[in-house]
Amino acid sequence: MTPVELSRTVLSAVRRAVDDGELSVAVPARAVVTEPGPGGCGDYATNIALQLARPAGRPPLQVAEILRPRLSRSEGVAGVEITGPGFLNISLDQRASDRAAALVREIRAGGYGHGDALARDVVRLRIPYEIRAEVVADVLVRILATQGARGEIQHIEHIEHIEHSEHSGHSQRGGIATATDAHHSGSTGTGLTPQVVTLRPTPAPEDPTPLGPDAARWALLHPAAHDRPRVTADHLLQRAANPLFRVRYAHARARALTRNAAQLGFSAVPGSVGATDAPADGLLRALAAHPPALRAAATHRAPDRLARQLVTVADALLAFQHTVLPMGEEKPSAVHRARLALAEAAGTVLADGLSLLGISAPDHL
C-alpha cells in the first residue's frame, strides 16, 4: 500500500465515522501520511485527528480514538496505535507482501513450475499423421520435460492401428487413449518401460496454417482434446475477446511497464506490494496456481490446461498493471518497485508458457 493509497484509506475511515454520527466534520480532501516521527511506531503515521479536532469540537485524542477502530478494520492495515497528542501510527499487514517477494524471487530464479514429479518417466506418444495431433505431441514433449519426464513421438501410419490398440483393452478418454503394456512399448534404451499414450485429439475442421504459426497453434492447443478446434480469423483479432491476444498483450504490457519505469528513474525490487490490495492478490493467486497447472498439463497429457492457465495469469496481470506506476505527482516508492517486480515476474511466466506452446511472445504489440 503506497502512502497515497493509505491516505485514501484514512479518509475512508473519517467518512465512516461521519456517516455513523461519531464526528460532525467535512471530510477533508487529503490526509497527510508520513513516516512515524520520534516516539512513533509502525510503518506510517497521520495527524488527521489533530487536523479534525477543532472543526469537530473534540480533543485530538478523542478524535483519534473514534478513528482508530475504523482504520484498524481497513484492508491492508494490521494495527493502529495512538501516540503523542493524537497521532495515529499505522502498521501494514505484511503477510501477502512477504509472499509476493518470495514468489518473485522464485520466478526470477528460472524454471518456475518445473519439477521432478515425473522424473525418470518415459512417455511414448503415438500419433496419426494429422496436424493437430502433431502439434499437441510436440508441445507435450516440452511440457513433460518440465516435470522431469522424456517424451518420444511415434507416428502411426494408419488410424486402424490406433483403433486396434484401443479395442485391445486400452482406455480412451478425452481424445487420448493410454496404454502401459510392455508388449506394445518396446525398448527405450534406458532400461525403463515407457508409458504408451495414443493421442487422437479431435481434428481441426480445416487447415489452420493460413492463420499463421502462432494463431494456428493456439487454435489447436487451447481447446480440450475432445473439443473441435475453431479455425477462424477471430484468432487474429487484437481484441479482448481473443484469449491469445490477451495473453500476448499482457506480456507486452509487462515489458512496457519496465520501460516506463526506467523513464521515471526506478526499477524492480521484490518487496511489499500492498498486503490485501485486490489486483495484487488476484495476480499472486494466479501465479501461485501456475506450477500445479503445468504439472497437471504434463500428468494428464493436456496442453490446453497450460493455455487456459496463461489466460488466467494474463487477465490478472491486466487488472493489476494500473497500480504499478506512480500517478500524478506521486513519487516512485518501494511499493511501486515491488509491484513492478511482480508484473515483470508475471511477464516471465507468460513468456515461458507461450514458449512451451511454441508461440512467440513479442515485447511490443
Domain ranges of the chain: 3-93, 122-208, 233-356
- Cα separation, 128 vs 165, in Å, equals 13
Between CA 185 and CA 171 the distance in angstroms is 15
- Indicate the residue type of 54: R
- Choice between 365 and 148, residue whose per-residue pLDDT is larger: 148
DSSP class of residue 168 equals: T
CA separation for the pair 67, 29 (Å, rounded): 17
C-alpha cell at 242: 481473443
More confident residue, 218 or 156: 218
Q: Is the dihedral of CA 9, 14, 16, 19 positive or negative?
A: negative
- Beta strands at 171-173 and 176-179: parallel, antiparallel or unpaired: antiparallel
Burial class (CB in 10 A: 0-12, 13-18, 19+), 359: buried
Question: Between these two residues, 66 and 40, which has the higher pLDDT value?
Answer: 66
When pLDDT is cut at 50, 70 and 90, the band that residue 94 belongs to is low
Q: Which residues contact 131 (CB under 8 A, 6 or more apart)?
A: 203, 204, 207, 208, 209, 220
For residue 331, what is its C-alpha cell?
513519487
Cα–Cα distance between 176 and 302 in angstroms, integer?
9
Question: Is residue 255 helix, strand or coil?
Answer: helix
Give tens-digit pLDDT for 159-184: 555 455 444 444 443 454 444 333 33
Burial of 191 (0-12, 13-18, 19+ CB in 10 A): exposed
Query: Is residue 86 over pLDDT 50?
Result: yes
Residues 6+ apart with CB under 8 A from 33: 3, 6, 7, 10, 44, 45, 46, 90
C-alpha cell read off for 267: 526499477
**DSSP collapsed to 3 states, 283-351:** HHHHHHCHHHHHHHHHHCCCHHHHHHHHHHHHHHHHHHHHHCCCCCCCCCCHHHHHHHHHHHHHHHHHH
Architecture of the CATH domain 3-93: 2-Layer Sandwich (3.30)
Alpha-carbon gap, residue 127 to 132, rounded angstroms: 10
Greater confidence (31 vs 360) lies with 360
Instruction: Assign a CATH topology to domain 233-356.
Output: Isoleucyl-tRNA Synthetase; Domain 1 (1.10.730)
Whole-number pLDDT of residue 209? 94
Most confident range (mean pLDDT) of 28-42, 167-181, 206-220 is 206-220
Instruction: Please indicate whether the domains covering 3-93 and 233-356 agree at the CATH topology level.
Output: no
User: What is the distance between the alpha carbons of residues 228 and 163, in angstroms, rounded to a whole number?
Assistant: 19
> 309-330 pLDDT, tens per residue?
999 999 999 999 999 999 888 8
DSSP 8-state symbol, 169: T
Query: pTM of whole model > 0.85?
Result: no
Provide the terminal-to-terminal Cα distance of the chain, rounded to the nearest Å. Answer: 30
